[in-house]
Amino acid sequence: MDIKDIIQSMKDEGHSPKRVHFNLKIKYGSVSEEALALIKEVFGLSDNELNSHLGWAPLNKDKAKAKHSLLICRSCHKENQDYLDALCALINIKSGTTSDDGILYFEITGCMGLCALGPNAVLDQKIYNKINDNPSFTLKLNSILEERKQI
């Protein structure tokens, strides 16, 4: 099944363009320009319509070439900005960039469509819910931050 078939099948299942984009990002770590063009084609969208659908994901270039990638939903933190600020300070990478050591790509996104389970993040293509109280997320993130210190 090629990428166009995958997009078509997600559309047929009733997924929105935003959800299709999110699913591709989870599956492949990034969404290529080719995949974006195919989302537009399959859904019959103009550039502006696609951008409007993907409002949370303006950084969807092929940037996730780092060893690890971390996406955090900003919208989940409307009520708890302090937690997001502390996390950003800990990570210490500008959103939409990869650390100089090539270890971690970091991006703050808009809503991922999983609000009831938030605050949400996607770390190495795996979705983590309630990251402010999720030992698995904390353990995995700490191991990556430790890895960065070893360089």
DSSP E strands, 7-103: 68-73, 97-98
Bridge-based pairing of strands 68-73 and 104-109 is parallel
Is 57 an interacting residue with respect to ligand FES (CB under 6 A)? Answer: no
Number of residues that bind ligand FES (CB under 6 A): 10
Is 73 an interacting residue with respect to ligand FES (CB under 6 A)? Answer: yes
Q: Can you read off the two tokens belonging to residue 105?
A: 């790509």
How many other CB atoms are there within 10 angstroms of residue 10's CB atom? 19
Is 16 an interacting residue with respect to ligand FES (CB under 6 A)? Answer: no
Separation CA 22–CA 65 (nearest Å): 17
Is 54 an interacting residue with respect to ligand FES (CB under 6 A)? Answer: no
Restricted to residues 92-131, the positions that interact with ligand FES (CB under 6 A) are 111-115, 118, 120
Q: Figure out which of the listed residues 42, 54, 57, 76 binds ligand FES, where binding follows CB under 6 A.
A: 76
Residues that bind ligand FES (CB under 6 A): 73, 75-76, 111-115, 118, 120
